[in-house]
Structure 1
Amino acid sequence: MRTSDREGSIRGSLRRGITPRYVLELALEVMSDAVVVLNQEGEIVGLNRHAQELFGYRAEELLGEYLEVLVIDAARRRGPGGRELDLTRSRLPEPLGRRRDGSRFPIDIGFQTIETERGAMTLTTFRDISERRQIDKMKSDFIQNAAHELRTPLAAVAGLVSVLSQHRGSMSDDQLDNTLIALQKQGERARGMVNNLLDLTQLQHGHLELAIEDVAIRAALESVLEGHPAPPEIEIEFQMAEEAIIRVDARRLTQVIVNLLTNAYRSGAARVRIEGASMRKQVLIRVEDDGEGVSPELRDGLFEPFSRGFNRGPEGSGLGLVLGRDLVEAFGGDLWHEPVEPHGSRFNIRVPRSD
C-alpha cells in the first residue's frame, strides 16, 4: 500500500491490513528518531524517512524482513514478546547497527508495544550514538592523561618527603635547602596543573568569570617581560611602536603571554622576540623564537589538551596552549601558530582594540 504525499514523513510501503494513518500516528511519537514498525510476527511493515537514512535502505527493501538484518549479533525472541530482539546472548558490549553497505555503528534501541484493532504492533526506535561514544572516549582520555600528568609531580613530592623523613638528621644545610626547593617546585607544578584543569573546564562550560577592561598593551607587555625575564643565554627582543588600548582580562592575558614566553624559553632558542602591532580594530601580539620549532606531524594537534609539542619538556603539562586559545577566544580574539623558517615558531594573538 502506497503512502500518500501528505504522509511523506513516513516514507515506505506498508503491508496489507495496516493503514497509512495508523503507522503515521505511531511514527509521529518519535519522529526525531529512526522508526521501524513491526507486526505481530515481528515482520517490518513500515519505516520512516530517518530509518531509511540511518540504515541506507529503501523502504521496500526491508518490508517483510526481521530486525536481525539491522542489528548485529542479535536473535528474535520466540513465543510471547517475539517481536523484540534478544540482546542478552550477544557477544558485543553494546548493540551495533548494520547499514546496507555493511558498516557498523553503536545504537540505542527502544521498543514500545501498542494494542490496536489489528492486534499488537511494535514501534521500534533506533538512535545512532556514535557521537556520544566519541565524546565519552574523549572524556576518558582526558581524565587518563590528567591523572598521568599529575602523577609525575605528586610522585616527586612523595619521594622528597620520604627523603626528608628518613635522612633529615644527616643532611647538610645545602642538601636540606635543595630538597625543600625541589619540594616547593614540584608542589607548585602540581598546583599549576590543577588550576589549568579547573580553568579549562570552567571556560568550556562558560562558567569562568573574566574581568574585561581597558588595558594598555605596550605597558602590559613590558610588565610581563620584567616579571618573566629570559634566561641569560637567550637574547630577548621587544618592539611596539605605539601604545594601544585593548579590551581583555589583564590577568588572564598575562597568563597567556607568560605561557608562550615560557614555551619559547624552553624551545632551545638563542633569540626570542615579542612584538605588538596596532591595526584599525585589533592589536596583534607575536611571540617568536628561533628554537627547534614544531614538527609537522604535531601541528594539527598543537592546541589539543596534553598534546606533545616541541617545547613540552619535563615541566610542561600540555594544557597551556589549549587554555590560552580558549581564553583569547573568550576576549573576542584568536590565537594561532605559524612555523618560522629555517626553524622556530611564531604564536600570534589577535585581540580587539578599545580606543
Structure 2
Amino acid sequence: MTMALDASISGIIITDNTQQDNPIIYCNKAFEKITGYSRKEIIGHNCRFLQAQDRNQEERAILGKSIAEGVECRVEIRNYKKNGDLFWNELYMSPVKNANGEVTHFIGVQNDVTSRKNAEHDLRQQKLVMENRIKERTKELRESEAFLSSIIETVREGLLVLDPNFNVLSANNHFLRTFKVSKEETVGRQLYDLGNHQWDIPKLRDLLVKILPTNNPVVDFEVEHDFPHIGKKLMLLNAYRVEFEGQFKDQILLAIEDITERREVEIRKDDFLSIASHELRTPLTTIKGYVQLLERAMPQDASEKFLSTFGKVSVYVERLNSLISELLDVSRIQSGNMELHMAQFDFDNMIAEAVDGMRTTVPGHQIILNGQTGAKVLADESHIAQVVSNLLSNAIKYAPDSEKIEVNIANVSDYVKVSVKDFGLGMSAEDRKKVFERFYRGVEIQKKFPGMGIGLYICDQIIKRHNGTLWVESEIGKGSIFSFTLPKAGKETNG
C-alpha cells in the first residue's frame, strides 16, 4: 500500500483525527517533494504549518468546518515551501470512518497548481499592464548600467559582475582592496585566471557551474581558500543570475564577504566559554562541599536568620551549578563533543518522572499529563529528560500569571510526540524564528525575566542529534506550545 502511495505524483497525507490537533501520521514522497520538507519535519505537525504566517485565508475556515463536520471538501489554498516559496495547493480532503461511522482519519490529496494560477492571473492582468510594462522596461534598460555601477561601488563587500562565461565585467573597490589586486588585473579577465589562477577554486566552480543554474540565487555559500599573497581566507559567497534582456542578459552578480576574522572571533568566544565553564566548575565543587559540611555541622540552636541565610546560599549555589552545567553543554555542542548514550527505555515512564519531579519543585502549578504511547524508545534518556524538564521550566517561568500547564504525548507513525502548552506571554513571529538560536532572548523577555538564552538552544541540538524535530507555535498573549518528535527506533531512522 505504501509503495503504491509513494508512486503517486500527487502529494498524499493521512492525519489522525483521534489525536489532539489532528497530526499528520503519513506522507508520501510526492508530498515531501512538493513542500520541500523531509518526512521527519512533517510527521506530528498539523497541516496548518504549510500556511506559515498567512493565516487569514477563507479556505482555512472551510477546511476547519469540513473537519468539524467530518465531510469531504476541495479548496485551493496558498501554502509555503520550506524555503519560503509560495505555491498554490489544490487540496482534496476526505474523511475515513470506522464501523460506527466515527471519523478516525482524514486523507488529503494535494497538487501544486501554481503554474495554472499564475497563468490565470497573467491573462487577467495582461491587457491592463502591457502598456505600462513597455514604458517601465524601456526606462529600466536605459538606467540599468548606471544603476548597476552604483550598486557595485556602494556595497560594503567584494562584488563582481560576470558574463555567462565567467569573465569579469566589473569589480568594486572593496574587492580590489580585500584581495590586493588592481582593476587592470581583474576586469576583462576570466574569473578562474585572476591572480595567476588563485581563483581557480573547486568549490567556486561548483557554485557557478552546478549550483547557480539550478538554485537561483545561491545564499551564504562558504568557501575556504589559501591565497599565496594574502593567506587563508574564509569567504561567504552569494550569487545571483541577472535575467535581463538585451545588453545585460544573463550576467552574474557574485558577492564575496571575507568572514575570516569574524569566524576567528567566534572560535575565540567558544574557547573562552569552554575554558571559563571548566575553570568555574572546580571552585564551585569546593564551595558545594563546604556548604554540605556546614549543613552537617549545623548547630541545633541556630537562629532563624542564620537558617534563612544558609538556605539562600544553598539555593544560589545550586542555581550557579545549573548555569555552569548549561554553559558546559553549549561548549560540548559547539566542539562536537556531546556524547549520546543510546539505550532503550520506557518513554511514558520517563515523561511521568519528569512531570512528577517538576510538580514537586513547583507545587503551586497544575501540570496536566495527557496521553500515553506505550513505546520503548532508543535514545539517550537523560538528555531527553533534560529537554522535557527545560520545556516545563520555561512554561512555568514565562507564564507567571497562569498556574496551568498541559503536557501531551502520543504516537505519530514511527515517532513519539511531546507537546508542552502554557498559557503565558506568547511570542512574536520574529521571536519564533530565532528562539532556538544560541544566546537569543526576545526584547520583552529580556526586560522581565533573567536568563542567558541557551536552554532552548541546547534542547534543539539534543533533539536534532536524535534525528528528531523541535518547534514552537505561539502568538502574543495566547501562550506557546513547544513540541518535539523523536524516532522510536533511534537516530538512524530516516523514514
TM-score scaled to structure 2, two decimals?
0.42
Q: How many residue pairs get matched?
A: 243
Residue identity in the other structure for 2:261: R
Match of 1:291 in 2: 424
Residue identity in the other structure for 1:194: I
Q: Which of 438, 450, 455 is equivalent to 1:320?
A: 455
Counterpart CA distance in 2 for 1:326 and 1:319 is 11
Residue identity in the other structure for 1:351: L
Which structure ranks higher in relative contact order (CA pairs < 8 Å, sequence separation ≥ 6)? 1
Which structure dedicates a bigger proportion of its chain to helix?
2
Counterpart CA distance in 1 for 2:469 and 2:424 is 23
CA RMSD of aligned residues (A): 4.3
Counterpart CA distance in 1 for 2:475 and 2:445 is 15
Match of 1:84 in 2: none
User: Are residues 227 and 242 of structure 1, via their aligned partners in 2, closer, same or farther at CA, if it must alter by over 3 Å?
Assistant: same
Percent identical among aligned pairs is 23
Give 1:30-179 correspondences, 5 Å limit: 55-56=160-161, 70-71=176-177, 110-111=228-229, 127=233, 129=235, 130-139=258-267, 173-179=303-309
Match of 2:105 in 1: none
Match of 1:252 in 2: 383
Residue identity in the other structure for 1:182: K
* Cα offsets for 1:66-106 (capped at 9, x unmatched): x9981279899xxxxxxxxxxxxxxxxxxxxxxxxxxxxxx
Counterpart CA distance in 2 for 1:69 and 1:227 is 58
Residue identity in the other structure for 1:278: N
**3-state SS of 2:473 partner:** strand
1:330 matched to 2:460:
no
**3-state SS of 1:70 partner:** helix
Counterpart CA distance in 2 for 1:72 and 1:281 is 52
Match of 2:195 in 1: none
Asked whether the 8 Å contact 1:291–1:344 carries over to 2, the reply is yes
Counterpart CA distance in 2 for 1:201 and 1:242 is 34
1:199 matched to 2:199:
no
* TM-fit CA distance, 1:135: 2.5
Asked whether the 8 Å contact 2:366–2:405 carries over to 1, the reply is yes
User: Are residues 174 and 306 of structure 1, via their aligned partners in 2, closer, same or farther at CA, if it must alter by over 3 Å?
Assistant: farther
**3-state SS of 1:193 partner:** helix
Asked whether the 8 Å contact 1:68–1:74 carries over to 2, the reply is no
Counterpart CA distance in 1 for 2:174 and 2:474 is 53
Counterpart CA distance in 1 for 2:309 and 2:271 is 30
Gaps of 5+ in 1: 1-52, 77-106, 112-123, 162-171
Counterpart CA distance in 2 for 1:308 and 1:260 is 15
Asked whether the 8 Å contact 1:273–1:289 carries over to 2, the reply is yes
1:209 matched to 2:339:
yes
Residue identity in the other structure for 1:203: I
* Cα offsets for 1:303-335 (capped at 9, x unmatched): 122221466765533211101111111122121
* TM-fit CA distance, 1:194: 1.9
User: Are residues 343 and 56 of structure 1, via their aligned partners in 2, closer, same or farther at CA, if it must alter by over 3 Å?
Assistant: same
* TM-fit CA distance, 1:126: 8.4
Gaps of 5+ in 2: 1-157, 183-224, 236-257, 292-301, 491-495
* Cα offsets for 1:199-253 (capped at 9, x unmatched): 2222333322221111211111111111111734432211114421212111111
Q: Which of 274, 279, 282 is equivalent to 2:415?
A: 282
User: Are residues 294 and 145 of structure 1, via their aligned partners in 2, closer, same or farther at CA, if it must alter by over 3 Å?
Assistant: farther
Residue identity in the other structure for 1:70: L
1:185 matched to 2:291:
no
User: Are residues 290 and 145 of structure 1, via their aligned partners in 2, closer, same or farther at CA, if it must alter by over 3 Å?
Assistant: farther
**3-state SS of 1:305 partner:** coil
* Cα offsets for 1:124-149 (capped at 9, x unmatched): 888464233332344566689998xx
User: Are residues 318 and 232 of structure 1, via their aligned partners in 2, closer, same or farther at CA, if it must alter by over 3 Å?
Assistant: same
**3-state SS of 1:228 partner:** helix
